A and B are shown apart, each in its own frame.
Chain A
């Protein structure tokens, strides 16, 4: 067994941190690490938090962490922020809202840049969840980037997903736009100390009256919270717990986990396939020539694509 995995299973937080880095960096030992961690995963409950930038996702993660800690649960937090597509750099600022827990050994917080991933999470987020799961965390909070209208990764990752909205942010058409409504298991109207929270909650409820979500037997509750004074946090935890109980008893939980595994295998196959393809195609070295021909309009991109794919014709 890899020395780092042994140390992680012994509860060494530096090993946990280092394994996440190696996975993020796509290091040589990544696969071995994940293989050895996998038997120790599947126990943690994964709670997704998504919503627009500034909606209060980090502050909610902070408040929820305090609440769950009081119940004696150990917590992992994975907070994703955008990587600049220009420089490849990122400013990861979610810890600012979670300082209270910096010294609590029962809380492990990790910030991640998206590193080119577009669905609201980093490619390595699912894998980092497994690391913290094997590390023994009871509950893992995953905070998405916060683009707001295309964050579907979280649905394929979390056991319960909460969508965070704010008062006074757009009319009801915003709330029925495809995507964001369907992924919510729980709606949160955060910053309810501001005007318009009741109206926002009523609009979401009105939308839900017209139909909702993935499972007809679960109508997502709408909870008003304020992280300024902690209003609504116990109700939010109660809503999350209710969804969890529903998911387990209705078979939704098992179904989602099965779908997640399937998606993971598919993605991994596709990822390796892509790597393999480009390795082979670039080894062939004719890409530049083909592109030149395309610039001269001698060849079209579709013919070029077929030709690149033909490296697989000779595979066996």
Chain B
């Protein structure tokens, strides 16, 4: 019988070196029974998308604490679409102002964005709902 497992790529794009949040999230996803592909720091959008395709993930989660979210999310979304991988759900988290969250999600550059203080249970529940 089929045993589906949610696969998530957790990525740290760009130059900021703060990966504590990403690691906490990766751990929470693992404890929720997901397979987490952790790619480490300083990823370019191209690297993230290529890894997402090869790993055939359901979700790409990006942690952005550098303030570059308004360029990174649209770029990764664009590359996913260009590569025919628009089925992959793009989401993320970090220090992102509310107005930017609204813009990014309304324009479809991210399905959901979570800010510091969000409980990992909420994020896990969101992913489970989104992957259905």
Q: Give chain A's interface residues, CB within 8 Å of chain B.
A: 13-14, 17-18, 20-21, 24-28, 83-84, 87-93, 95-96, 99, 102-103, 108-111, 113, 115
CA distance A14 to B49 in the complex (A): 12
B99 within 8 A of A: no
Q: Give the tally of cross-chain contacts (CB within 8 A).
A: 90
Instruction: Tell me the minimal C-beta distance from B106 to chain A in angstroms.
Output: 28
Q: List 19 A-B contacts (CB under 8 A).
A: A14-B84, A25-B5, A87-B30, A87-B33, A89-B30, A89-B32, A91-B38, A92-B36, A92-B38, A95-B39, A96-B40, A99-B40, A102-B47, A103-B46, A109-B54, A110-B55, A111-B55, A113-B35, A115-B5
By beta carbon, the residue of chain A nearest B6 is: A89
Q: Are A91 and B30 in contact (CB under 8 A)?
A: yes
By beta carbon, the residue of chain B nearest A105 is: B50
B85 within 8 A of A: yes
With a CB–CB cut-off of 8 A, which chain A residues contact B2?
A: 25-28
With a CB–CB cut-off of 8 A, which chain A residues contact B51?
A: 95, 102, 109
With A14-B83, A91-B26, A91-B27 in contact, is A102–B36 under 8 Å at CB?
A: no
Which among A14, A26, A27, A89 is the interface contact of B33 at CB below 8 angstroms? A89
Q: Are A99 and B4 in contact (CB under 8 A)?
A: no
Q: Which of B51-83 contact A (CB under 8 A)?
A: 51, 53-56, 83
Apart from A102-B47, A108-B54, A110-B55, what are 13 other A-B pairs with CB-CB below 8 Å?
A: A14-B83, A24-B5, A25-B5, A84-B30, A84-B31, A87-B31, A91-B38, A95-B51, A95-B55, A99-B47, A102-B46, A109-B51, A110-B54
Interface centre among B29, B39, B40, B43 (most CB of A within 10 A): B39
Q: Are B53 and A95 in contact (CB under 8 A)?
A: no
With a CB–CB cut-off of 8 A, which chain A residues contact B4?
A: 25
CA distance A128 to B67 in the complex (A): 39
Q: How many residues of B contact A (CB 8 A)?
A: 32
CA distance A99 to B39 in the complex (A): 8
With A17-B54, A26-B1, A95-B51 in contact, is A90–B39 under 8 Å at CB?
A: no
With a CB–CB cut-off of 8 A, which chain B residues contact A99?
A: 39-40, 43, 47
Instruction: Tell me the minimal C-beta distance from A271 to chain B in angstroms.
Output: 12
By beta carbon, the residue of chain A nearest B83 is: A14
Which among A14, A27, A91 is the interface contact of B85 at CB below 8 angstroms? A14
CA distance A90 to B83 in the complex (A): 27
Q: Are B5 and A13 in contact (CB under 8 A)?
A: no
Q: Are B35 and A89 in contact (CB under 8 A)?
A: yes
